[in-house]
């Protein structure tokens, strides 16, 4: 298990984005307060006072501030306290903000070894591997940013091409414009695909010690299988207090919304 990172990179959560313009001063105050609490929590963690560290880390959460390092440290703290589900939950949240961080991936793998359920992963086709390795390595927000940037470059290169009188420059900037347009089309397609995927496939972690997964969204329906804390699932659908979930091995069933926590 890697040691706790002592970094102070706090970002506003999505809940605060709309009012960011009007809350700049308040956010700066929150960030300074969070920075102070973060240092105190790290100090407790290094001394082995994990319950006190957890208490302080959770104070930062209440400020509605997000940080990959905060979730990483929460994951480490829960792991030290032998709380499997919250440890995995926070490592996954850290990876959502920083998907290429090797420390986060390593500690998540270590925490997942504590789970009871051993779920096989279905083999992927070449296109599925390409999609998960490269396309989904960026969030749909990042692909949207790439799309916007490339369309701006397309307009810029096209204008230079249009007004240029030098044949060599016209040819060069025409090629640049075409490349930018192609990147725009692909990145927009990836952003749209990623948005639809995230909208209809919401990851979640089982928090109940033992959860019964049913064949239908009713209490008297037949039990399909059992899951235990720490197992990662994907939420496909919601009906009243029931959630339709899918495992990495392809199994599908219905579970009470009280048995898991969505990411």
CB burial of 16-45 (b: ≥16 within 10 Å; e: otherwise) equals: beeeeeeeeeebeebbeebeebbeebbebb
pLDDT at 122: 67
pLDDT, one tens digit per residue, over 179-191 is 999 999 999 998 8
The pTM of the whole model exceeds 0.75: no
Domain ranges of the chain: 11-112, 126-200, 202-262
Homologous superfamily, domain 202-262:
SH3 Domains (2.30.30.40)
Any idea of the CA torsion for 61, 65, 71, 72, to the nearest 10 degrees? -130
Determine contact, residues 100/137, Cβ cutoff 8 Å. Answer: yes
- Mean pLDDT along residues 92-118: 90
State the first-to-last Cα distance of the chain, in angstroms, to the nearest integer. 23
Residue 173 to residue 21: CA distance in whole angstroms: 38
pLDDT, one tens digit per residue, over 14-70 is 444 444 444 455 556 666 777 888 889 999 999 999 999 999 999 888 877 778 999
CATH number, domain 11-112: 1.25.40.10
What does the block give as tokens for 190? 């990836």
pLDDT at 60: 85
């Amino acid at each position: 298990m890697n040691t706790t990172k002592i970094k102070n990179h706090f970002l506003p959560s999505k809940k605060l984005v709309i009012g960011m313009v009007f809350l700049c001063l308040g956010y700066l105050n929150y960030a300074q307060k969070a920075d102070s609490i973060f240092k105190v929590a790290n100090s407790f963690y290094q001394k082995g006072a994990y319950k006190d560290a957890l208490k302080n880390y959770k104070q930062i959460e209440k400020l509605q501030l997000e940080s990959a390092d905060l979730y990483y440290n929460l994951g480490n703290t829960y792991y030290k306290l032998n709380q499997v589900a919250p440890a995995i939950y926070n490592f996954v949240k850290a990876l959502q903000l920083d998907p290429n961080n090797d420390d986060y991936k390593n500690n998540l793998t270590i925490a997942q070894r504590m789970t009871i359920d051993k779920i096989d992963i279905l083999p992927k086709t070449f296109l599925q591997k390409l999609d998960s390795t490269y396309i989904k390595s960026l969030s749909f927000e990042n692909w949207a940013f790439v799309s916007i940037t490339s369309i701006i470059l397309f307009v810029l290169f096209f204008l230079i091409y249009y007004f240029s009188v030098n044949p060599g420059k016209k040819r060069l900037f025409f090629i640049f414009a075409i490349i930018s347009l192609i990147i725009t089309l692909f990145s927009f397609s990836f952003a749209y695909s990623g948005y639809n995927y995230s909208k209809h496939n919401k990851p979640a972690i089982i928090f109940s010690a033992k959860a019964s997964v049913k064949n239908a969204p009713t209490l008297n329906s037949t039990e399909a299988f059992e899951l235990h804390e720490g197992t990662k699932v994907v939420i496909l659908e919601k009906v009243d207090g029931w959630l339709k979930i899918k495992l990495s091995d392809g199994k599908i069933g219905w579970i009470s919304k009280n048995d898991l926590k969505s990411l």
